[in-house]
Chain A
Amino acid sequence: MVAVSKLSFAYTPDRSITFPDFTLDKGEHCLLLGESGSGKTTLLHLMGGLLRGYTGSLQVAETELASLSEGALDKFRGKNIGFVFQKNHLISALSVEKNVIMSPYLAGVHIDTHHAHDVLTSLGLGEKIKSSVKEISQGQAQRVAIARAVMNHPDVILADEPTSALDDKNCALVIKLLLDVATRNNATLAVATHDQRLKDKIKNQIIL
Chain B
Amino acid sequence: MNVFLLVWSYLKSKPLNTVLNIVLFALGIAVITVLLLFNNQLEEKISSNAKGIDLVVGAKGSPLQLILCNIFHIDFPTGNINLKEAEQISRSRLIKKAVPLALGDSYQSYRIVGTTSEYADLYHLELAQGAWWNKELETTIGATVARELKLNIGSTFQSTHGLAEGGSGHEEQRFVVKGILKQTNSVVDNLILTSVETVWHVHEHAAADSTERNHEAHAQPDSSFVASRLIPTHPAGDSTKEVTSLLIQYRSPMAAIQLPRMINGESKLQAASPAFETARLFSILGVGVEILTGFAYVLIFISALSVFIALYNSLKERRYDLAIMRSMGASKSKLFVNIVLEGVVLTALGSMAGLLLGHGILMALGTAVEEMRKAGLTGFVFYSAEWIILAGSLLLGMICALIPALQAYRTDISRVLASN
Residues of A that sit less than 8 Å from B by CB? 41-42, 45, 48, 50-51, 70-71, 74-75, 77-79, 81, 83, 85-87, 89, 91-94, 98, 101-103, 105-108, 111, 148, 160-161
Contacts and interface: CB of A to CB of B under 8 A. Distances in A.
A86 B321 CA distance: 14
B10 A102 contact: no
Interface of B is mostly: helix
Given A51-B414, A105-B2, 14 more contacts: A45-B418, A50-B414, A50-B417, A74-B326, A74-B332, A75-B331, A78-B329, A87-B420, A89-B320, A91-B321, A98-B9, A103-B328, A105-B6, A106-B325
A93 B327 contact: no
B13 A101 contact: no
Nearest to A72: B331
B321 A106 contact: no
B324 interface: yes
B96 interface: no
B202 to A, nearest CB: 75
B337 interface: no
Nearest to A52: B414
Interface residues of B, number: 25
B1 A77 contact: no
A130 B94 CA distance: 84
Given A45-B418, A86-B420, A87-B420, A106 B328 contact: yes
B19 interface: no
B361 interface: no
B333 to A, nearest CB: 8
B229 to A, nearest CB: 81
Contacts of A41: 418
A70 B332 contact: yes
Nearest to A45: B414
* Max chain A Cβ within 10 angstroms of own Cβ: one of B10, B12, B320, B418: B418
B330 interface: yes
B328 A45 contact: no
Contact of A75 (B321, B329, B417): B329
A74 B329 contact: yes
Contacts of B321: 89, 91-93
Contacts of B12: 93
Given A94-B9, A111-B1, A102 B418 contact: no
B373 interface: no
Given A50-B413, A93-B12, A93-B13, A108 B329 contact: yes
Contacts of B413: 50
List the 6 shortest-distance A-B pairs measured between CB atoms, nearest first.
Answer: A78-B329, A93-B13, A107-B329, A106-B330, A105-B1, A106-B328
B84 interface: no
